[in-house]
Amino acid sequence: MLYDIFIDPFVQMYDMPDFFLQVLWEGFVAGILYALIALGFVLIFKASGVFNFAQGIMVVFAGLTLVGLNENGVPAYLALALTIGAMGILAYGVERVVMRPLVNQPDIILLMATIGLTYFLIGFGEFVFGGEPKQMITEELGLPTGSTAIEFGDRGLVILQHIDIAAAVIAVLMVAALGIFFNKTRIGRALRAVADDHQAALSVGISLNQIWAIVWFAAGLVALATGIMWGARSDVSFALEIVAFKALPVLILGGFTSIPGAIVGGLIIGFGEKIGELYWGGLVGGGIESWLAYIIALIFLLFRPQGLFGERIIERV
């Protein structure tokens, strides 16, 4: 038993380095996608202190809108533009109808409101586009579909799906774009000011409502990118919503307010989950992927309650 837990997995890793590398790659890609979902959460949490549970369903909704429009004869790129427009309308609507009347309510009420929003979007999405899974329009959008095998002489080979590489590249580009947006533009600076202190930001003339609409729109764009990437790997369906729960341990690992934290947390969870499942999962009957991420995050939190990059919690009575 002890041998199975502590020695055997490492022997396997050494014996089959190609398999191990493949697992690492899978973990990397999964981690990137978790990080993308977590990024949407972080954006909204930073700017408004709202824990946006609807991020997962926004991913599904964006993907469904894109595919649904394309199915009805809209060319792919036009559909993409229209979907971006739809996310803009959604952002404006959420800010106007949900966020503005609930200003200054306790966290849990805002959390509940976003879960209400989740219900609404599930119903709306199924009502408009139907509940069955759809195929993502990967080729129409000009995304690569093939795969490359890298050989290591006689030690075997690792297969890289092109779409995964594209996902990683897009994730990096998005984080870079967000970084520039936050640090170099006027709106980005206003956003950071709001994140620091709502009242101080208001007092220097920053419009909270405008900032919130922008932030929700940015989260919507992140959701769209995530939706395309997830959709290309599997189908676009409401099952993705469960996957979005995986972003939560990523968040608490990285800290709710840190964009680098979301990326690092996503990668830790992605690697940990795949390696744990493939090398240790067999010992307890498999399927541990569904909860391993939470346990990793939980153990982590016991030692560092504010997450890896979270702001230090200082308590006063």
Partner 1 sequence: MFYREAGQFKTSYKADQALMPILQDRVGLLVILAIAFVVIPVFANDFFLTSIMIPFLVFSLAAIGLNVLTGFCGQLSLGTGAFMGVGAYAAYKLTTIFPDANVIVMVLLSGVFSAAIGAIFGLPSLRIKGLYLAVTTLAAQFFLEWCFIRIGWLYNYNASGAIEIPHREAFGLVVSGAEATPIVRYFIVLCITAGIAFLMANVLRGRIGRSWMMIRDMDIAAELMGIRPLQTKLLAFAVSSYICGVAGAMMVFFWLNAAEPSSYSIALSFQILFMVILGGLGSLGGAFMGAAFIWILPVFLKFIPGTIGIDVAAETVEHVTFMIVGALIIFFLIVEPHGFARLWQIAKQKLRVWPFPY
Contact residues for partner 1, defined by CB under 8 A: 51, 97-98, 101-102, 105-109, 111-113, 115-124, 126-127, 131, 242, 245, 248-249, 251-252, 256, 284-288, 290-291, 294-295, 297-298, 301-302, 305, 307, 315, 317
Is the Cβ of residue 268 or residue 297 nearer to partner 1 in the bound state?
297
* Contact indicator for 52, 40 with CB cutoff of 8 Å: yes
The Cα–Cα gap between 198 and 180 comes to 22
If phi > 0 it is left, if psi is from -120 to 50 it is alpha, else beta; for residue 130 that is: left
Nearer to partner 1, 47 or 229 (CB): 47
Token pair 């990285």: residue: 254
Cα–Cα distance for residue pair 25/33, rounded to 1 Å: 12
Q: Which residue, 204 or 284, is less far from partner 1 as judged by CB?
A: 284
Pick 204 or 314: Cβ nearer partner 1 = 314
Q: How far is the CB of 186 from partner 1 (least distance, A)?
A: 31
Q: What is the DSSP letter of 317?
A: -
- Please, what is the end-to-end C-alpha distance for the chain in angstroms? 49
Which of 83, 118 has the CB closer to partner 1?
118
| Helix, strand or coil, per DSSP, at residue 140 | coil
Pick 49 or 144: Cβ nearer partner 1: 49
Locate all alpha helices (DSSP H) within the chain, ordered by sequence: 2-6, 8-15, 17-48, 55-71, 76-93, 107-129, 162-184, 186-196, 198-203, 208-233, 240-245, 247-254, 259-275, 289-303
Could you tell me the smallest distance in angstroms from the CB atom of residue 92 to partner 1? Answer: 16
Diameter over CA atoms, the chain: 67
Nearer to partner 1, 181 or 245 (CB): 245
CA distance 270 to 254: 13
Residue closer to partner 1 (CB basis): 100 or 155: 100
Q: How far is the CB of 75 from partner 1 (least distance, A)?
A: 28
CA angle 50/55/59 to nearest 5° reads: 165
Burial of 312 (0-12, 13-18, 19+ CB in 10 A): exposed
Residue 82 CB, nearest approach to partner 1 (Å): 22
Q: Is residue 89 exposed (0-12), middle (13-18) or buried (19+ Cβ within 10 Å)?
A: exposed
In angstroms, the CA 248 to CA 236 distance is 21
Q: For residues 14 and 303, which CB has a smaller minimum distance to partner 1 in the complex?
A: 303
